[in-house]
Amino acid sequence: MDKEKLILDILEGLNNQEEPKFYDFEIEKHTFGEVVEVIQEKGFISGASIYRECLENKVISVSLNKAKVESKGLNYIENNIMSHV
């Protein structure tokens, strides 16, 4: 899946009061966790929790139940929605 499309789909899901999961996109959990981590670091969302394994630092769980889309994320949706229709 295209990374920009994945970001857009996660943001849209959260904006629609949904809780996207890695299996919704048919990707690995660690890939989903890394993308969620990036969009949170960029300020697109807040409140996401990413849990990692101690030794390998591999993503073992992602929780978006308290996540919300911030204004930067809304701008991303607005600026990219037409290119992924």
Structure tokens at 12: 């849209």
Structure tokens at 9: 């789909």
Write out the chain's pLDDT in tens, 85 residues: 789 999 999 999 999 999 999 999 999 999 999 999 999 999 999 999 999 998 888 899 999 999 999 999 999 999 988 776 5
Q: Given the DSSP bridges, would you call strands 68-69 and 59-63 parallel, antiparallel or unpaired?
A: unpaired
The label of the residue with tokens 């949170």 reads 40
Domains and CATH numbers, the chain: 3-77 (1.10.10)
Say whether pTM exceeds 0.75.
yes
